Amino acid sequence: MFAQVVAIIIFIAMFVFIVSEIVERHVVSLICALLTIVFVFGLGMHSMSAILETLNLRSIFTTEFWYLSGETSGSSTGINWETILFIFGMMVMVEGMARVGFFRWLCMRIARLVKYQVIPLFITFMILSTILAMFIDSITVILFLAAVTIELAQLLKFNPIPMILSEIFCANLGGSATMCGDPPNIIIGTSLGYSFTDFVTNTGVIAAVSLIAVLLYFYLIFRKELRADVSEPVDYSSLPTPESTITDKKGFAVSCVIFAAAIALLVTHAQTGLTVSTIGCIVAAATLITSWKYAVDLLKKVDYNTLLFFIGLFVVIGGLEQTGILEIMAAFIGRISGGNVMVMVAIIIWLSAVVSAFVDNIPFATTMIPIIKSLSTTYGVDLSMLAWTLAMGTDIGGSATPIGASANVVGIATASREGYVIKWGQYCKKMMPATVMVVLIAMLFIYFRYL
Amino acid sequence: MEKQLIISVGREYGSGGHEIAEKLSKHYGIQLFDHNLLDEIAAKKNVKMDHLKELDERHKNLLSSRTVRGLSNSPEENLLYLQFDFLRDKADAGESFVIVGRCSETILKQYDSMVSIFILGDRDKRIERIMRLYHLTESQAVKKIREKDIQRRRYHNSFCVRRWGDCRNYDISLNSSRLGIDGTVKLLTEYIDSRRK
């Protein structure tokens, strides 16, 4: 009982401190992790095995961590080192791509392809945002897309805010489509043993259907605001050519090859048996070896704070799991749904969406994984269906408010620092209906396809 | 070319700090930035900012804001950075100006040409001034002063390490109730002139 109460207190305190931003979130999660080890596992449970299971260091030295010869059930206990290594690898690769000017080149190339026409730009940038976010973290996608959008808006004289808002939404939507698109998906995939293909053929299909609705929705609500001011002629020569944005031609070619290889490895990882941790290490090593002159700089740019945040978070959630709190929560959800699968799906998707709209979706998704696992075991519900429900709820719900997802914060900040300040009301008025629409589409899709 | 002069004026509400800043601006023939700063930024960036005036000199709301890799969604914070960038650009360009509030004593600290001033006042004198200027009753004036001072303190302290009104943060802290507005301006110009020699 003591351990359970302390685990809950630490978990709530962690959330409160993360939201308050008094201390950086990685510091909060690491301190809470230490408190969990000392008070929950040590003083509360007197269990060394609980500590070792949660630290999960042993898993790194197993063959399954690097290579899978058959089906896996995954592991949701303790620190998910697979997730940490994979995100690290992708971060190194993305930094390498950014160094050579890949993202700016891609944006400028597409802008030129559509002849700098505002509405075609609006549509293609939304699609580009979705596709890029399927493979790359949404923060990087929005950092580059928003910057180029503002640059184009200033030249073509249109309001960039509608375009940036649409790009943010699509980045979050794209993230939901694949296993590596959004951190909750990576955690869900590695914890429950799903492959890249599993995600694409399930959440990917939902995201594709939703994208059509989203393109239509944003076009209808923003078409008037996106009219360019044609009173003055536009000087296209002041725009950089796509080629001029490449800072290192040889490095650019190498980056493209590494990126293509990363996609190929991810798409085929169920067949090749390579785990995401192996793929993460391969892309990181390939990037660092081919850009050895810049290796130290690239390593310095990796967002270690996020990785540390994940490590601390996994330990705190491990505390809840080891003390049986998550099973109690699962039983509660099972009780209020009366064992009805449709109600269960509705609760999971809407609860995930609402919570993710206001707090970081990573801790929430991590907490929910053992819960859906328990629900699946107790009520005999298909675990994969609950996993897709959780992924869609957490990934899409984050779009609803300015603080729901990292991409939202980065997009808003990028626009605001150029004078296009976006307030809460302005953001929610356009993004909340889109979020509700997509969550509804996802829920109905799950009902029709799986039930 | 005239030597650069940047005057940063922090002030307690009702102390006459703004009027002193206006008089210093007139005395040295340099531009004054206060609420007009947003208009200046809007004109420079060719954007509309009228709807953001309510956010000027406001602290960020912790519950409705989040920071990712040093970037924040807080409109108050983003507005502040726009103002910081604008002021730094002006200072880097060698321009002289008077800036009222907006954490200017902190963000422009590295410029040797800056003189930072904090104007305070006796409580009764401040109440009297606010009652006279805004035709308020004493209790209304007291309430307004309290609210405005809290707002300025929270705004300043949420973005700067040194506390609002802490004399160590400014070159000179002066009680305007002792010498009156004109006397304070006279004393300040003597100080500024000595600094510029």
Q: What is the mean pLDDT of residues A165-176?
A: 97
Nearest CA among A324, A316, A311, A367 for reference residue A37: A316
Stretch A421-450: mean pLDDT:
95
pTM: 0.88
Residues in A 269-308 with any Cβ partner in B closer than 8 A: 303
The sheet carrying B6-11 orders its strands as B31-33, B97-100, B6-11, B114-120, B172-175
Q: What is the mean pLDDT of residues B127-153?
A: 94
ipTM field: 0.82
C-beta atoms of A421 and B82 within 8 A: yes
Q: How far is B71 from chain A (nearest CA, A)?
A: 6
Average pLDDT over residues B33-60: 84
Separation CA A301–CA B70 (nearest Å) = 13
pLDDT above 90: residue B92: yes
Lowest mean pLDDT among A22-36, A140-154, A174-188, A331-345: A331-345
Q: Which of B60, B68, B72 to mutate to test the interface with A (most CBs of A within 10 A)?
A: B68
Asked if A420 reaches chain B (Cβ–Cβ under 8 Å), the answer is: yes
Q: How confident is the model at residue B57 (pLDDT cuts 50, 70, 90)?
A: confident
Domain-by-domain residue ranges, chain A?
2-320+406-420
Reported as a single tens digit per residue, the pLDDT across A310-351 is 899 889 988 888 888 888 888 888 888 888 999 999 999 999
A and B: number of Cβ contacts within 8 A:
73
Q: What is the C-alpha to C-alpha distance for residues A3 and A5, in angstroms, rounded to an integer? A: 6
Question: CA A335, CA A328: separation in Å to the nearest integer?
Answer: 10
Neighbour-count burial of A367, counting CB atoms closer than 10 A to its CB (0-12 exposed, 13-18 middle, 19+ buried):
buried
> Residue A70's pLDDT band (boundaries 50, 70, 90)?
low
pLDDT at position B136 is 94
pLDDT in tens, A375-398: 999 888 999 999 999 999 999 999
Instruction: Please give the domain boundaries of chain B with CATH numbers for all domains.
Output: 6-196 (3.40.50.300)
pLDDT classification of B20: cutoffs 50, 70, 90: very high
Task: Choose among B99, B89, B5: nearest CA to B45.
Answer: B89
Beta-ladder partners of B173: B118
At residue B9, does pLDDT exceed 90? yes
Q: Which of A144, A154, A423, A424 to mutate to test the interface with B (most CBs of B within 10 A)?
A: A423
**Residue A402 near chain B (CB below 8 Å):** yes
